[in-house]
């Protein structure tokens, strides 16, 4: 085919499809787009499967795509998503951390024991400093364990696979000794809010809408700033319509998620207790056996709180995960530390020749991973209002799976924070959906394992095509 003359488009661009042209103009990552499509397909599949279940199966249809389930799904994803952001840098650097689940258990048990057995009796139950001391203790303990893993890997020259595999076994034993095999509960009343426990564990609809609008403004400002930076350094600019489309899609997604979390109300009993604690007016009624009030509307018995509706909004664990994601994205893409990590994973020999201290970098990456495990330990134990020796069981597998599914290459050098968080949401969606539909636990394990293998296969195919 001969080249055309007098036109502004080459034959290749003229023959380009509408979708390809759109993706090229907006510069959307096709792998992330595929993951979003897979996630929506999974959600729709679970919802339709539940809708067509027989009544005898014990589940009303269409229960997956409800505000209640989606709100719970986001909260359950938070802990894995936080750890996944750190695991991205670990794997990008051609290392691995198999101990995160056991470390989470150890930190949660240690912090729980600190609150229940030490700080509570010494400072008094409900002291305002207990939760702060517990959180700081969790972060410091996580940093210490991560630094130990990094030092053994970098300076003792023990492969990270062996170091963290040993940690997976050892730290679970330490957690058992700390807990003496029993559940440690309850936690401090302020501490449990970090996990979204109870009605005060969410910020409510008003602040959720404020946060959503601020996020939309941030998206628009980010796109405008990016355009200015491209002009400054004389990089090719995206078409104006493409940037408007990106801003519209991002803002619509934020507002849609905000509307969903704001549509999930408290349970009636929780509303009643919350109303009494805040001196809200409850219609007079008689006391039921469980202490709840029963009201009469004519001859009809109704719940006294039917007229009182409180909605959750964004849960605190979700906000923590989003904040960690933004911070880790900044660290990975905007700091010298992040650039060194990606450079080390891409070409370790060149990094050594450039004079970068890769051993120190390894210790720093594992220390950061430990701190993030500490954050997840706080979120998980606070959400359950308890610490048990089974708290972080199999979390290392879900974290690694989320990172790989999110596009991080096991060969190192490639990976994104937002991809890992999206992978965590996908993994939790599979687990939650199968649990909601009463899938046998054996089938749940089979599906998760199969998805992980498929993700690695897709990564290998993508890397071969990229060469």
pLDDT tens digit sequence for 238-265: 999 999 999 999 999 999 999 999 998 8
With contact defined as beta carbons under 8 Å apart, do 385 and 197 qualify? yes
Helix ranges (H only) for 263-304 are: 268-277
pLDDT for 283: 53
pLDDT band at residue 292 under the 50/70/90 scheme: very low
139 and 215 fall within a common domain = no
Rounded-to-integer distance, Cα 66 and Cα 264, Å: 8
Q: The domain that contains 163 carries what CATH number?
A: 1.10.3470
pLDDT band at residue 467 under the 50/70/90 scheme: low
**Is a pLDDT exceeding 50 seen at residue 290?**
no
Does residue 39 sit within a domain? no
**Is a pLDDT exceeding 70 seen at residue 103?**
yes
What's the per-residue H, E or C state across 182-193?
CCECCCCCCHHH
Rounded-to-integer distance, Cα 227 and Cα 221, Å: 10
Does residue 289 sit within a domain? yes
198 and 208 fall within a common domain = no
Rounded-to-integer distance, Cα 378 and Cα 138, Å: 7
**Sign of dihedral through CA atoms 60, 66, 67, 72?**
positive
- 376-426: pLDDT as tens digits: 999 999 999 999 998 988 899 899 999 998 989 888 889 999 999 999 999
pLDDT for 272: 67
Does residue 136 sit within a domain? yes
pLDDT for 300: 43
Token pair 């949401």 in the structure block, residue? 425
The end-to-end CA distance of the chain, in Å, is 26
Mean pLDDT computed over 117-134 = 92
DSSP state of 434: H
Does residue 343 sit within a domain? yes
Rounded-to-integer distance, Cα 196 and Cα 317, Å: 6
Rounded-to-integer distance, Cα 287 and Cα 341, Å: 62
197 and 144 fall within a common domain = yes
Does residue 317 sit within a domain? no
294 and 337 fall within a common domain = no
211 and 224 fall within a common domain = yes
**Is a pLDDT exceeding 80 seen at residue 224?**
yes
Rounded-to-integer distance, Cα 274 and Cα 289, Å: 19
250 and 272 fall within a common domain = no
pLDDT for 279: 67
Q: Give the number of domains in the chain.
A: 3
244 and 279 fall within a common domain = no
H helix or E strand, kind and range, residue 161: helix 160-179
Rounded-to-integer distance, Cα 152 and Cα 163, Å: 7
DSSP state of 116: I
Rounded-to-integer distance, Cα 184 and Cα 190, Å: 16
284 and 342 fall within a common domain = no
74 and 145 fall within a common domain = yes
Strand partners, 315: 202
pLDDT for 466: 65
What's the half-sphere exposure (Cβ side, CA atoms, 13 Å) at 400? Answer: 19
| High-pLDDT (> 90) share of the chain, % | 57
User: What is the value of pTM for the model shown?
Assistant: 0.88
**Is a pLDDT exceeding 50 seen at residue 362?**
yes
pLDDT for 56: 42
Does residue 23 sit within a domain? no
Range of the domain at 232: 203-264
- 37-88: pLDDT as tens digits: 889 999 988 888 766 664 444 444 567 888 999 999 999 999 999 999 999 9
Does residue 282 sit within a domain? yes
| Maximal C-alpha separation, the chain | 88
348 and 454 fall within a common domain = yes
385 and 425 fall within a common domain = yes
Does residue 350 sit within a domain? yes
189-215 burial, b for 16+ CB within 10 Å, e for fewer?
Answer: ebbbbbbbbebebbbbbeebbebbeeb
Rounded-to-integer distance, Cα 186 and Cα 199, Å: 17
pLDDT for 83: 97
Tally of CB atoms within 10 A around 154? 21
165 and 279 fall within a common domain = no
- 181-212: pLDDT as tens digits: 899 989 999 999 999 987 788 999 999 999 99
Rounded-to-integer distance, Cα 99 and Cα 17, Å: 47
């Amino acid at each position: 085919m001969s080249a055309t003359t007098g036109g502004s488009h080459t034959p290749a661009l003229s023959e380009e499809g509408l979708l390809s042209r759109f993706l090229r103009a907006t510069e959307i990552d096709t792998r992330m787009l595929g993951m979003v499509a897979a996630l929506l397909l999974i959600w729709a599949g679970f919802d339709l499967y539940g809708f067509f279940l027989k009544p005898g199966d014990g589940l009303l249809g269409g229960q997956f795509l409800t505000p209640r389930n989606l709100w719970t799904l986001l909260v359950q994803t938070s802990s894995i998503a936080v750890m996944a952001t750190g695991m991205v840098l670990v794997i990008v650097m051609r290392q691995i951390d198999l101990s995160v689940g056991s470390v989470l258990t150890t930190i949660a048990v240690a912090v729980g024991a600190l609150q229940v057995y030490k700080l509570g009796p010494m400072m008094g139950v409900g002291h305002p400093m207990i939760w702060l001391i517990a959180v700081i203790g969790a972060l410091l303990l996580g940093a210490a364990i991560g630094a130990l893993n990094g030092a053994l890997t970098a300076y003792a020259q023990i492969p990270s696979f062996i170091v963290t595999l040993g940690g997976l076994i050892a730290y679970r034993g330490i957690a058992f000794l700390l807990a003496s095999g029993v559940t440690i509960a309850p936690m401090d009343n302020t501490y449990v809010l970090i996990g979204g426990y109870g009605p005060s564990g969410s910020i409510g609809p008003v602040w959720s809408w404020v946060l959503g609008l601020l996020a939309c403004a941030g998206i628009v400002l980010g796109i405008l700033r990016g355009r200015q930076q491209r002009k400054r350094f004389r990089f090719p600019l995206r078409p104006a319509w493409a940037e408007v489309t990106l801003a519209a899609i991002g803002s619509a997604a934020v507002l849609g998620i905000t509307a969903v979390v704001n549509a999930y109300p408290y349970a009636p009993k929780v509303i009643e207790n919350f109303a009494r604690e805040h001196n809200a007016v409850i219609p007079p009624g008689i006391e039921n056996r469980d202490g709840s009030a029963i009201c009469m509307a004519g001859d009809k018995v109704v719940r006294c709180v039917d007229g009182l509706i409180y909605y959750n909004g964004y849960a605190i664990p979700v906000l923590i995960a989003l904040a960690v994601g933004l911070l880790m994205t900044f660290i990975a893409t905007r700091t010298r530390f992040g650039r060194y990590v990606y450079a080390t994973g891409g070409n370790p020999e060149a990094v050594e020749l450039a004079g970068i201290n890769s051993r120190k970098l390894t210790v720093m990456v594992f220390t950061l991973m430990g701190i993030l495990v500490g954050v997840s330990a706080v979120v998980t134990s606070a959400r359950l209002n308890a610490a048990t020796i089974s708290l972080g069981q199999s979390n290392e597998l879900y974290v690694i799976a989320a990172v790989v599914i999110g596009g991080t290459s096991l060969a190192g050098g490639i990976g994104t924070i937002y991809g890992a968080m999206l992978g965590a949401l996908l993994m939790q969606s599979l687990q939650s959906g199968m649990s909601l539909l009463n899938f046998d636990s054996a089938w749940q394990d089979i599906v998760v394992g199969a998805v992980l293998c498929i993700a690695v296969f897709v990564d290998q195919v993508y890397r071969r095509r990229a060469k």
